[in-house]
Structure 1
Amino acid sequence: MSPSRASAAIAMAALLGGCALQSPGSRMEMAGGAPDSWSATKEARSGVDHRWVRTIGGSPLVSLVDEAQRSNPSLKASAARVAQAAALARIAGAERFPSLGAGTQASRQKQNFLGQTSTASTFGVSLQAAWEVDLWGKIKAGAEAAIADAEAQQQADRALRSSLAAQVSKAWLAVAESNEQVALAEQAVKSREESSTLVRERFERAIAEDGGSAAQVRLSETELATTRSDLERRRGERERALRQLELLLGRYPSGNVAAAAKLPKLPPAPPSGLPSELLLRRPDILAAERQLAAAGRRHDQAVKALYPSFSLTGSLGTSTDQLEDILKSSAGVWSLGGSLTQPIFQGGRLRGGIEQADAAEREAIADLQRVVLDAFGEVEQSLITEIYLRRQEKELSQTVELSQDAAARAGEEFRNGNGGVLTYLAAQNRQIEAGAALASVRRLLLDNRVNLHLALGGDVVLRGP
């Protein structure tokens, strides 16, 4: 065979190996069926709020989430994992093509025989090629599994970005609630100081009514000290919330971040869509489906490892004893070879590989079904939780109004000498507790709304109209 025909054979082999790789088809049917509607609500408007960060917290929260998306170390690591997965997919795909290498050789040999000395020099350049012909699609299956792995990693990155946005939002809401709790605690201290002063004045005037005993003075002072202690506890919670927010932003936790002054109003409920839409929207579900697709292709690869493998090798180059002739065609050499190998005995390695791949595929199916079930559960829990938190907020709002009125009347009666100190202090307690409980429930409602947006699988879009 001439050198040109040898080169053409190698080129044809490369062409035959150039069939395009494809992403494995969807296996979402293995996730199981989806219900027709959510049990917690009959409303099923299509679509999803991708700008939920702005909906909840406006521009201040958008700025913080944007900073976290740019600076959070976990997201940087996730982006690196996506790049690694993409590189591994390219590496796996490269195995389907011939490997080419070029080299130069030079040697000098001296021989002494029966008193005669001879010296010989050899120079050469060469191009070598090797290729395993993927007759059965074994290498292609492995390459497409790597593509599915890369796609799964991309979806995992999407999930992490949405999760980070939710964590920043909750940390921001925690700071906002802490601000309100501190303000309420400061107001409570003022009220306790006023009541303690009134009780002491009654005692000092030696009025014989309920407020005229030393025990009641000590009781009012105890309530004041307890309220001051609660104020310091609230301030500590705010400082911890500030530092937690800074860590999510990728900042040093110094407590200097600017955060919300108070909790925002609860925005209108987002469209929940249909349960079946969730399968095509949630990144964790899509990642699990891609992992199943990869497991299926690796199972195919393990089965096809039992089939014969066919390899081609070839080389083209020159060999001469004169360095100046190294590039002349008259010094050319070439070779072309092929081999066919059928596995016969591998000590159970190949069969074990099939069993392992089969078990891995079954695991991936179970993982997908678990992720889907968890996703449905998260949506249902968020929907039903909002119903009862709204009811709780309504009742607590009424409790706050009633307790404020009760505390005002008790204080007025006590100043007029008609009311007892225990009633006065108890009314203050109810007012303080109701205000703190209402702020906590309002924060829980907003946290649950963040959970709902995350459960529904909406992307985080920070900018744009």
Structure 2
Amino acid sequence: MNANSFLALGVIILTSCTRPDSLSKDRVANVPIPKRYDTTVAPRLTVSSDLLSQFGDPILRQYVKRALTNNRDLKSSFARLAEAGYNFKSTKSPLLPNLTTNGNFSRRKFANRFFYSIPPENSFDLTFNTNWEIDIWKRIRSEVSASASELQAARSDYAFARQSIAAQIMQAYMKLTGLEQRLKLNRDNLVSFKKTLTLVNGLFVDGSSELTDLNFARTDVENAKAKYFRLQNERDQAARQLRTLTGDYADKNLRTSGLPQLGKSIPAGLPSSLLIRRPDIDASYQRLRAADTRITVAHRALFPTFNLTAAGGRSALKLNELSNSNFKVWNIVGGFSAPIFENGRLRNELGAATKRAEKAYYDYQQIVLDAFREVENALGSELALSSQEKATESALDAARIAERGTLLDYEAGLVEILTLLEAQRRRFSTEEALIQVKVLRRQNRISLALALAKAV
């Protein structure tokens, strides 16, 4: 085969190795992004730069800081980040020649054929070897680029893990505080039911009330006791959960300072800014870039590889003569290797790399859509919970007035005991509902801050 035939064969090989189109050129390709969020008409979202500034609670801030130092999941995420850093450095190694050294010792003796002694002979060898793949097709540099994208993805994963852990701590703190307030309310309600029981018992002794009324009052007292024990258990479990998140032993001894006041709202910004701010979106995009770049790596594997190999060394009969031995050897070899027949392995690897990039492309799009949904849900809940809180406060005012009036009517004999007990239960359930909606509103504010990528 002459030179022209080799040239023609090379052209055919290279033209048949066409790389698939890139999938990571555009961050927002085929992702519908509105000009503004659907629920930003109300409420007016105006302030706050980070998660912790939402609530001016020093105890909550201490818990968050402790979790960012001790949380095991966060430590695991940092270890993955460090691993990605080492992988990136390892990937860069083939860009430069590698150098190895070898040392050998041998001892030999020739056969004595003529009945005279031949002393044994020692041999010492020291060689240095170097090998370098010339990155003509940028396969190695593409691998380095992919590894760099994975390192950036790990950084973004760690940033998102920090935000998530802080948000979980704050959510758990709100839950614990709400349970403590409900527990206190239940104690107060139990006292109220006991007072009613005492009142009914006095009327029963005087003959002004029936045994059925007394049993109704006792039922509410015992139910209040049962609920107190249930709430106490829920409170202790919430405290243990918070302890675990801070990286401590799961005991129930924790302090809170009550539900913190809500600060100003969070600026929602434009939907497109989420693509820049949210670490989880950036991590997904960086993985898309890495998968896309690895298509190039798999594609370049179809091309010939070119290597330079060199070796040099010395040989001597004595170890101390290696440094000044006159017997020196060296060689330099340049060569190439090209795949001819490998039963479709390389092209299948290219196809698999293409599909992995395609999967990363759709995963990225789904994460973007999920992020927009989270923001829209949190913004919608901000408005709904605010209105719900105002309505519940009005209902509580009415329930308290009704309870006081019903108690006076019962003492005057104008209503039955069931009416009084129902009035007390309604006031209690409405007050408990107000605590719960306040907790939900603060938890939603945390979710909104997390969805909008507010840093810790």
Normalised by the length of structure 2, the TM-score is 0.91
Q: Within 1, Cα distance between the matches of 2:331 and 2:202?
A: 112
Q: For residues 417 and 316 of structure 1, what CA distance do their matches in structure 2 show?
A: 114
Distance across 1 between alignment mates of 2:25 and 2:325: 54
- Aligned twin of 1:241: 238
221, 229, 232: which one aligns with 1:232:
229
Cα deviation code 1:57-96 (max 9, x no counterpart): 4221111100000001111111110000110111111122
Distance 1:405 1:339 in 2: 95
In structure 1, the partner of 2:141 is: 140
Q: Are residues 157 and 166 of structure 1, via their aligned partners in 2, closer, same or farther at CA, if it must alter by over 3 Å?
A: same
CA distance in 2, matches of 1:44, 1:422: 42
Aligned to 2:171: 170
Whether 1:221 and 2:198 are equivalent positions in the alignment is: no
**CA deviation map 1:159-194 (0-9, x unaligned):** 111000000001111111011101110110011001
SS in 2 for 1:63: helix
- Tell me the alpha carbon deviations over residues 325-384 of structure 1, each in whole angstroms, 9 at most, x when there is no partner: 211263322111121111001111101011000100100100000000000000000000
Corresponding residue for 1:153?
A: 154
Letter in 1 for 2:239: L
Q: C-alpha separation between the residues in 2 aligned to 1:121 and 1:48?
A: 83
Which residue number corresponds to residue 275 of structure 1? 271
| Rounded Cα–Cα distance in structure 2 between residues aligned with 1:214 and 1:300 | 87
Match of 2:253 in 1: 256
Matches within 5 A, 1:31-42: 32-42=31-41
Q: Take 1:362 and 1:237, find their aligned partners in 2: how far apart are those partners?
A: 46
Are 1:287 and 2:283 an aligned pair?
yes
Provide the secondary structure at the position in 1 that maps to 2:207: coil
TM-score, normalised relative to structure 1: 0.89
Once the two structures are TM-superposed, the CA of residue 55 in structure 1 deviates from its matched residue by 2.2
Quick check: 1:395 aligned with 2:395? no
Amino acid at match of 2:246: L
Corresponding residue for residue 65 of structure 2: 66
Check if 1:427 corresponds to 2:423.
yes
Shift of 1:424: 0.6
Identity of matched residues, %: 30
Q: Name the aligned partner's letter for residue 190 of structure 1.
A: V
What is the Cα deviation at residue 45 of structure 1?
A: 9.3
Residue in 1 that maps onto 2:367:
371
Does 1:298 pair with 2:299?
A: no
Report matched runs for 1:410-449 at 5 Å: 410-449=406-445
- CA–CA separation in structure 2 for the residues paired with 1:140 and 1:43: 50
Q: Which runs of 5+ in 1 are unaligned?
A: 1-23, 461-465
Going from structure 1 to structure 2, the CA distance change for 1:231 and 1:73 (only over 3 Å counts) comes to same
Measure how far apart 1:323 and its partner are: 2.7
Whole-angstrom CA distance in 2 between matches of 1:317 and 1:87? 33
Q: What is the aligned partner in structure 2 of residue 8 from structure 1?
A: none
**Other structure's SS at 1:150 match:** helix
Partner of 2:203: 202
Deviation at 1:324, TM superposition (A): 2.8
Question: 2-side partners of 1:324 and 1:44: how far apart?
Answer: 86
In structure 2, give the amino acid aligned to 1:61.
Answer: L
| Cross-structure match for 1:330 | 326
Question: Residue 119 of structure 1 aligns with which residue?
Answer: 120
Residues 194-231 of structure 1: CA deviation (Å, up to 9, x unaligned): 11111111111112xxxx21111101100110011111
Q: Does the CA contact (< 8 Å) of 2:48 and 2:265 recur in 1?
A: no
